[in-house]
Amino acid sequence: MHSAEEASTFIRTLRRLPENTAHLSPKEDIGKPLQRTSNQTFPNDDFASWTGWYLKTYPEQFEQLEGSVSIAWDQWQQRLAKITWKKGNLSRGRLVFEQSSCVSCHSGARALGRDLRGVTACFSVTDLFRAILDPSRDVSPRYQLTVVTTREGKIFQGAVIYRAVDSLILQTGPEKTVRIEGDQIDTVSYSTTSLVPQGLIQSPTDEQLQDLYAYLKSLR
């Protein structure tokens, strides 16, 4: 049998590993023991399904798991206050935006994330980077993670974009939606986790933050 601690370690590790094939082997290695003891058949790199399973199996520990990834915001706030934001480079900022996978959820007519045009006029630098660096600290209901489990045992995660008496439509990714009939729904859970992944920008330099802000400011 696995323990909640073992499952928590696996989920945290999945969060920290970048989404690319070079890191698939470590994901498979760390997931094998849990896969065997939990009797789950999710691929070991399927973060969404494993997180949904963890939420259903260990609901009390899930909130602790969410809190454990919060950053030291006081230190970040002091650092942001020292940065000269007018020195950013737009072209380099676009590259930071694309390499951090922000573009995958913030582009297209059916983008999962909010429209970023004019975002720097709506939020202060501090609030903007707080949302980027610590997205789950203050989550709007629109971007709250919803976990739906069906009677067949399938687990879907995403944002509810349509709800009716007989069904709901969940946006599970950029340009991806799934309709779930009401009579097929077993449970619906709401997490305090943002749809924005934690740690999108890994150990950014002051220059990268300046550049990213310059790019975001250019979006009109």
The last residue of one of the domains, among 69, 100, 116, is 69
| pLDDT tens digits for range 102-128 | 776 777 666 677 788 999 999 999 999
* Same domain assignment for residues 151 and 184: yes
Domain boundaries, position 181: 140-195
Query: 92 with 108, same domain?
Result: yes
Q: Are residues 20 and 51 in the same domain?
A: yes
Starting from the edge strand earliest in sequence, which strands make up the sheet with 167-173, in order?
A: 176-181, 167-173, 155-163, 144-150, 185-194
Q: Would you call 53 exposed, middle or buried from its count of C-beta atoms within 10 A (0-12, 13-18, 19+)?
A: buried
- pTM of the predicted protein model: 0.58
pLDDT at 68: 46
Between 214 and 189, name the one with better pLDDT: 214
Is a pLDDT exceeding 90 seen at residue 52? no
Judge if 13 and 113 occupy the same domain. no
Count of domains forming the chain: 3
Element (H, E) at 188: strand 185-194
pLDDT digits (tens, 9 = 90+) for 149-174: 888 888 888 888 888 888 999 887 76
Structure tokens at 106: 């913030």
Six-digit token pair at 220? Answer: 């009109």
Of the three residues 28, 43, 69, the one that is the final residue of a domain is 69
Do 32 and 131 sit in the same domain of this protein? Answer: no
Q: Are 120 and 216 in contact (CB under 8 A)?
A: yes
The last residue of a domain, from among 69, 99, 116: 69
| Whether 99 and 202 share a structural domain | yes
| Whether residues 84 and 29 fall in one domain | no
Residues 205 and 100 in one domain: yes
Q: What letter represents residue 199's amino acid?
A: G
CATH number, domain with residue 91:
1.10.760
Q: Does 151 share its domain with 55? A: no
Asked if 215 and 89 touch (Cβ cutoff 8 Å), the reply is no
Q: Which two tokens stand for residue 56?
A: 């259903």
**CATH value at residue 152:** 2.30.30.100
The verdict on 7 and 108 lying in the same domain is no
Asked if 178 and 172 count as a contact pair (C-beta separation under 8 A), the reply is yes
